[in-house]
Structure 1
Amino acid sequence: MTADSTPALVQSEEAPDGAPASPAGATSGAHGPRARNTKAYLQYAAAKIAGAIVSLFAVLVTSFFLFRLIPSDPVKQMTGGKRVSEQQLENLRHQFGLDQPMWKQFTSYIGDALTGDFGTSYQFHTPVIDKIADALPATLLLTGTAYVLYSLLGIWLGTRTAWRNGSRSDRFNTAFALTLYSVPSFWLGLLLIIVFSVGIGPIPGMFPTGGLESGGETGFAYVIDVAHHLILPVITLVAVGYAQTLLVMRSSLLDEMGSDYLTTARAKGLRDDVVRRKHAVPNAMLPTFTLMFVNLGHVVAGQILVETVFSWPGLGGLFYSALSVPDLPLVQGLFFVFATAVILANTLADILYPLLDPRVGR
């Protein structure tokens, strides 16, 4: 090889002032590509966090005005249709601050909410934050269990159906998932109650119709009792959630299957199972990863209709109960908690996504 054919990367060039230029590999310092990438990522993450803060404030404002559009008088609803004098109604309105001008109610609500105080529930006469804290464990137990199950099942089945695209199992699983995905969750829950709780034909009623526990059990018997009550609502949530995850995972993997890097991996003699697990699936996981974080926000937000159908004592059932009054402080507090969970989950997904796909946020 002649001197003229020496690669440009190892040739030393003269700087404009006659000093020798730095080697190309000496760019890994404070101003190198790694530093620039880190700075770009931090700017990207800061922008996402700032957007989340703005969204949370918008949720606070929206939650105040949205539920005041409900054509109902909370004070009259609380009296339950009993004969109450107008003076007593006025006293209740004054007690709950409903006789104040709207702007004053709004400023008081914003100021208190920023300190974590969402007021006192009209119907339960306890602080809203305490009522939410009492119902949160039941929601996390139900939706958290369902989230883990349908995420694992959806990814596993989605991978296998896509890898066997066009096969009989692929057609069956895809059609079944599309059917479940289109079924309303509350309708499926009612159907399960009719068949497996009430019993129909030769099928006896095997599961409770609702609630978290039967009562009177302790120790391991209590755990079994709660698990027994969990089965039907968990099946309802898993049936709908796994279908969505399967369809997204299948679509993502089908997009990857024609890529050149998979052809190269097969040409190297790698087994088909290794090509799928170590090459195709990690790249196809990116859209599913985003979906999983969106669903993670719903773990806290709960499933209002499913919890209501199964009389589950979680945040969803509490929201339905508060909305029927309407219990404005409780409704506003729950709405803010639900929206905050979704916003934080989406923001976390946005922040972590560039770590999996370096093309994002650069």
Structure 2
Amino acid sequence: MGCSSWEARGSWRCGGARRSPPTTGSEPVRGYVLKKVGWSIGTLLFVVVFNFFLFRLLPGDPIGLYTRGRNMSPEQLIRLRQQLNRPIGEQFVEYLANPFASAINSTRFNRPVWEIIGERVWPTVLLVGTAVLVAAVAGVWLGIRSGWRRGSRFDRITTGTTNTLYAMPEFWVGMMLIMWLPFFPSGGINSVGVSGFFATAVDTAWHMVLPVTALAIVYLAEYTSIMRASLVDELRQDYLTLARAKGLREDLVRRRHAVPNALLPTMTLIFLNLGFVIGGAITVEYVFSWPGLGLLTAEALRGPDIPLLQAVFLLFSLGVIVFTLLADLLYAVLDPRVSTQ
């Protein structure tokens, strides 16, 4: 007996029995995306509010904090005091309207804070982004080989080595590399007198060797450990036994079935680490005098440069929130089951 047409009450009649209307697969996905976006917006609003009040609750005279180590005329002090002594509600509304606009210049550089930050973003993205890419590629390869041959000599050596390297502080690794490899540049992003696009690119790559190695060594253990643990967990699944029973070779079982599913947690980790690319690596950039956001943060802390610290804190938080959201959305794309939970 055929089913009748859709009735007004929203059900299907088929053979006298009522059935629920079919649901589209896009509804759970839409709800999942909206939930994640909502959480991200809420987190960003909290960070903006927290960032505003945090630096205004510091003890002491705010004028002293803003003018420490600076020679300012009495007229400049009067204008600054008028600016800082405005009602807190008025300042808060102005800050919410545009958190990326600073009415007060950096006290250390005496320039707009976002202009200074804009100059330091690219060196940090270049340094930390390269380190994350190198560590991810090498770590995934090591994790796959170790997990597939768990308990082997290669697995024991790889696991022990990566865990030992992960326990080492980044700044200490950087200082050891400077001592052990003195023929590489130990500071800055370019040598004095270098000009031309090709020559500058080669010189920058030469300066990146030590700081990228210091960061990649620490990141390497994360990717190796997570990839190995994920692959070992996948090896216990029944679908791999079924794939072998169908006659598939071991390399095909690994490449087509085990590795794609085991990559999910690693892909999430990559996006989460990309969120920290914006924040940079403060200790490594400080050790190698790399002119990025990490070194800028250390310089602002020495002041303390309150306007610059407030802007840097907001940028770091925004980077983590955005890439965490992208990681959640990517995970739902790679594993549709996540959006239905």
TM-score range, shorter chain: 0.7 to 0.9
Aligned partner of 1:213 among 180, 190, 195: 190
The alignment's TM-score, normalised by the length of structure 1, stands at 0.83
1:65 is displaced (CA, Å) by 2.6
Aligned partner of 1:94 among 77, 81, 92: 81
Spell out, residue by residue over 1:133-167, the C-alpha distance to the aligned partner (whole angstroms, 9 max, x if none). Answer: 11111111101111111111111100000111001
The alignment's TM-score, normalised by the length of structure 2, stands at 0.88
Q: Distance in 2 between matches of 1:322 and 1:51?
A: 31
Corresponding residue for 1:106? 92
Q: Distance in 2 between matches of 1:180 and 1:73?
A: 45
Corresponding residue for 2:45? 57
Spell out, residue by residue over 1:93-132, the C-alpha distance to the aligned partner (whole angstroms, 9 max, x if none). Answer: 427x33335444433333331xx31343222222222111
Q: 1:228 to 1:39 in 2, by over 3 A?
A: same
- Write the mapping of 1:227-306 to structure 2, written as runs, cut at 5 A: 227-306=205-284
Corresponding residue for 2:138? 153
C-alpha RMSD over aligned residues: 2.8
Number of aligned positions between the proteins:
330
Corresponding residue for 1:136? 121
Corresponding residue for 1:307? 285
1:214 is displaced (CA, Å) by 1.1
Gaps of 5+ in 1: 1-10, 197-204
Give yes or no for contact 2:130–2:212 (8 Å, CA) kept in 1. yes
Q: 1:74 to 1:153 in 2, by over 3 A?
A: farther
Spell out, residue by residue over 1:186-245, the C-alpha distance to the aligned partner (whole angstroms, 9 max, x if none). Answer: 12112212222xxxxxxxx21122111112112222222111110010001100111101
**Secondary structure at the residue paired with 1:39?**
helix
Q: Distance in 2 between matches of 1:38 and 1:248?
A: 31
Q: 1:76 to 1:88 in 2, by over 3 A?
A: farther
Instruction: Give the % identical residues.
Output: 44
1:82 is displaced (CA, Å) by 7.6
Gaps of 5+ in 2: none
Aligned partner of 1:43 among 28, 31, 56: 31
Q: Distance in 2 between matches of 1:64 and 1:14?
A: 61
**Secondary structure at the residue paired with 1:123?**
coil
1:21 aligns with 2:14: yes
**Secondary structure at the residue paired with 1:299?**
coil
